Amino acid sequence: MERISFYEQIEKNKRDSIFLVILVFIFLLALFYVISLIFAPELSAIFIIFAFIIAISYIFISYNYGDEIVLAATDAKPANEREHAYLINTVEGLSIAAGIPKPKVYVIESDEMNAFATGKDPAHSSIAVTTALLKNLNRMELEGVIGHEISHIKNYDIRFATLVAVLVGLVAIVSHMLLRSYRFGFRRERGERGAGLILIIGLILAIFAPIATRLVQAAISRRREFLADADAAKLTRYPEGLASALEKIMKMNMGKSMNVSEAVSHLFFVDPNRSPLDALFATHPPIQERIRILRAM
């Protein structure tokens, strides 16, 4: 089996992720442009500028308060310094090794083994782990998982993931608005050249853009997971710890949903939800593939 260096794996995932997030922007701009042509072609430039300002404002609000929303939605509680001393010390030690400030540490009461990182940058970040993860993983395995989440923070994946989630959400909102205009019988004047074609293009975009951007979101998240695995192995200098943790999670997790919104499920160490459409929309790569790559390093 061909061995892949830490740095090759990291650089490859970074290149792929940048390319995919550009595609999300393209879908969003295409929707805005078609809507402007349908509703007010003579004001299309002004419409697009106004829509862009609204989008930026929406992203800004989500960027600054997204971590608080995620922690509240998952019922994460601050780690107890006495009860969770080893967890806190592990987070602090790996943060020092990674050269970032120590994140806030939270614990989630759950029978499923999982973890996630959130925040807008390394100076404003948090890590949350489930009680089942603390109970069932040994020292090296826990360090592997925490190293994975620290890597998400160090690489600014937490910011990246939040912005992508917001953009995908905007595409869905705009598409829904366009579909509603068709539902209520909106039509351009029949004699206007190209009106029919624009309406058809708008309908196609409104239906397929949310599906396409969701696929892009899933692909972006999967690539960021591979990147964090590679960086965590570099940080701990022991890929087998993380591989063993993934193997144990694959065997021991019961597959029960943690009742986590799909909008934030991509933040978790492994997918917290199960769906018949996971083959298409899964936000995480197959655990077996993650293990295989780690053991090839």
Give the residue numbers marked as catalytic.
149
- Helices 6-39 and 157-183 sit at what angle, rounded to 10 degrees? 30
- Residue 6 corresponds to which tokens in the numbers above? 């830490």
**119: DSSP letter:** E
Which residue has tokens 């990291």? 10
CB 29 within 8 Å of CB 55: no
Among the listed residues 218, 216, 217, 212, the one whose alpha carbon sits nearest the alpha carbon of residue 284:
218
Query: How many CA atoms within 13 Å lie on the side-chain side of 186?
Result: 17
* Contacts of range 177-183, beta carbons closer than 8 Å, 24 or more positions apart: 177/35, 178/31, 178/34, 178/35, 178/38, 178/202, 178/203, 178/205, 178/206, 179/203, 179/206, 179/207, 181/38, 181/39, 182/206
- Residue 18 corresponds to which tokens in the numbers above? 């940048």
* Burial (CB count <10 Å: 0-12, 13-18, 19+), residue 57: exposed
CA dihedral sign, ordered 13, 19, 25, 31 = negative
- Residue 232 corresponds to which tokens in the numbers above? 């965590």
| H/E run at residue 184 | none
- Residue 202 corresponds to which tokens in the numbers above? 């708008």
